[in-house]
Amino acid sequence: MSVMREGTRYAVEGKVGETLAKALSRHPALVTAVPVTSIVRGPDAHVLIPDEHLAKMPELEYLERTQLEDVGIDPGANSRLASQCMLTPELDGLVVSIAEMYPENPM
């Protein structure tokens, strides 16, 4: 898959059955893009997914939408948290952009 961050495209190896967040956290240039946002979810990022791949993913449930709204800045219809994106064979060739998140709350 390809990941766009601040105008640069990175090739990221992902494994079927893992989350996008886990794949992103292994890439040395992207590890800072997936800060730990909670003890439960671990590393995470607000990502934007193109329509063609979004159509192959399940719709967000209420709790997932709430989590996204808590950490993502201006989430839209194509927004997801990387921890909510399970990699499947149907998502082969996925291209995502890393969007803005609120700074980590130190409290």
The candidate with the shortest Cα–Cα distance to 61, out of 80, 42, 43, is: 80
Better-predicted residue by pLDDT, 106 or 25: 25
The string of pLDDT tens digits covering residues 8-56 is: 899 999 999 999 988 988 888 887 777 666 556 567 888 999 999 999 9
Mean pLDDT of the chain: 85
Q: Is 23 helix (H, G, I), strand (E, B) or coil?
A: helix
- Per-position DSSP letters for 48-92, written without gaps between them: E--HHHHTTSPPPPHHHHHHHHHHBSS--TTEEEGGG-B--GGGT
pLDDT at residue 91, rounded to an integer: 93
Mean pLDDT, residues 72-94 taken together: 91
The CA distance from 44 to 101, in Å, is 10
Q: Residue 105: pLDDT above 60?
A: no
Q: Residue 106: pLDDT above 50?
A: no
